[in-house]
Amino acid sequence: MLVRKVPGFVPASPWGLRLPQKFLFLLFLSGLVTLCFGALFLLPHSSRLKRFFLASRTKHPGVEVMAENAGHHPVSEQESPPNPAPAAPAPGEDDPGRRVGVLRRKGWLRRIRPTGPREEGNSVAAPRPREESVRFSFDYNAFRSRLRHPVLGTRTDDDSKESQSLVRAQREKVKEMMRFAWQNYRRYAMGKNELRPLTKDGYEGNMFGGLSGATIIDSLDTLYLMELKEEFQEAKAWVQDSFHLNVSGEASLFEVNIRYIGGLLSAFYLTGEEVFRVKAIKLGEKLLPAFNTPTGIPKGVVNFKSGSWGWATSGSSSILAEFGSLHLEFLHLTELSGKPVFAEKVKNIRKVLRKIDKPFGLYPNFLSPVSGNWVQHHVSVGGLGDSFYEYLIKSWLMSAKTDTEAKNMYYKALEAIETHLVNVSPGGLTYIAEWRGGVLDHKMGHLACFAGGMIALGAEDAKKEKRAYYRELAAQITRTCHESYDRSDTKLGPEAFWFNFGREAVATQLSESYYILRPEVVESYMYLWRQTHDPIYRQWGWEVVMALEKYCRTEAGFSGIQDVYSINPNHDNRQQSFFLAETLKYLYLLFSEDNMLSSEDWVFNTEAHPLPVNHSDRSSMAGHHH
């Protein structure tokens, strides 16, 4: 108090500093603070500190930690191999501002990117050490260089200009249907598993254990194939930013494999985008607990939360078409991850099936994963059995014809099928019946109509004396399936059709009269067209396009119908994801050149996702040499 009263005295600060000194000190202090906070945002390993300081502002503390632990971080574009695809997606695909715009329209921005663009840059870099499990050198450029045809073909249609114009118009119509189906899904159900077009909302279901976006994953390769570049970028952005694997429900091993794993694998092979490879491998690892059974035959359901296999009772059984339709995808998971465990799991399935007795050479549909014995002697080339046979011949083809075990198993099974199941109706229609302990059910399911295409695909490598027979058998089965369409009022086929009591190729009850946008008939049309170039298959395919437009197209998407024998059918309010993955893809290929996704380079999984033939000089895929 005394010093204040002394005239002319300038007091020092409490620290003994005069005013000029105080100014210099504050200037130094402010510079130090600026330097510290600048380092907080600019140093490469500051994300943990940033989460601490920014948590109150984002109101989502720890969201990045959860994403990293579950493997949901976006993969750095810098790590992606170059994309030499001839029809690469549109320029600007990686523009973050564009992706944010897409997400904001669906209300996802707050949920997925709570910290804004500044933090996004570090969230890409920080999790890299956590990707060690999928760090593996896959030479994408070398893979693409081994393909014998351009992925999207050469677009030199038939000889005459008139024919070119017609086929081009038909192809463009199918493309328009795909765009319509996608745009309505995006508008009303983006991120849900499927669109419900009548109620204009999304459907989740309980088949995928909490995984979402089945339609998106299933559509990726179809959008790419049809060069719907903007739509492909929308789908890719969703996979990168919103496809999360930290789910806890019970999922169908089969459905997750063929739709999600298959869709992600094909998207990677078509584009080289690393995000698809990483997601496929991480999801594949979540499926491995299903194989933890006494025999190694996987259960049909896997619990994503506990990692256990579902229905763990000694009396339950696994389904042939489910555990027998893993081989293609799991070999590619090993190829892209360097982890032999995936190939080892499916090789063991082969080992079990090779040793077990087959009644009359046939494979029943149900097998105990505990005892390794057949549970029932019910045999079907339709539902429950179908894709097991498909994956045998396709394993042979995908291995560049080195997997002789698959080849031998396929042709032995086919001989048993033609001996015991193939019949000809009094009206001259060839069909594949179902077998129950020696007694035949004279019916054929829509699912079994893939068999015409499968038999045509395998005819070339059959015994020389059987090749012409198999080609004719394939054509006759496909004709029968066309008859099941042609004999309905809508020109769409029923779920199952019978050959008895004087009625042929028609359903006999309403519960089998529905059509849910299934692809198997047009799949066979596509394979038979490629093998024979008989114009009848394109004609039949166009009939399907017209019927879909007339009876299944609604204001907001495509829907299945409940009765194919009614000209005013009720809709089932479901746009199945496989309609975009399979039905529209096979129709598009039917009206395209044979070298678009050429059979020399690609095989389709049972969800129509293309997987590449192994053209390497020495077969590197595990399980191909026996």
Residues making up the annotated binding site for Ca(2+) are 606
- Is residue 495 annotated as a catalytic residue, yes or no? yes
- Among 532, 396, 548, 512, CA closest to 452: 532
From 194, 221, 274, 386, active-site residue: 386
Other CB atoms within 10 A of residue 539 CB: 11
- Is residue 255 annotated as a catalytic residue, yes or no? yes
Going through 446-550 in order, the beta strands assigned E by DSSP cover: 496-500, 503-506
251 backbone dihedrals φ, ψ, rounded to 5°: -125, 150
Other CB atoms within 10 A of residue 321 CB: 24
- Rg of the chain, C-alpha, whole Å: 29
| Tokens describing residue 539 | 């004609």
- Is residue 120 annotated as a catalytic residue, yes or no? no
From 520, 523, 601, 607, active-site residue: 520
Distance CA 562, CA 495 (A): 10
From 255, 405, 434, 504, active-site residue: 255
Q: Which region, left, alpha or beta, applies to residue 572 given φ > 0 means left and ψ of -120 to 50 means alpha?
A: alpha
Going through 346-487 in order, the beta strands assigned E by DSSP cover: 366-367, 374-376, 378-379, 422-424, 430-432, 434-436, 439-441, 443-445
Going through 370-409 in order, the beta strands assigned E by DSSP cover: 374-376, 378-379
From 68, 273, 495, 504, active-site residue: 495
Distance CA 75, CA 165 (A): 42
- Is residue 617 annotated as a catalytic residue, yes or no? no
Distance CA 445, CA 288 (A): 31
CB-CB contact of 523 with 453 (8 Å): yes
Distance CA 19, CA 405 (A): 90
- Among 194, 187, 233, CA closest to 213: 194
Q: Which residues are catalytic?
A: 255, 386, 495, 520
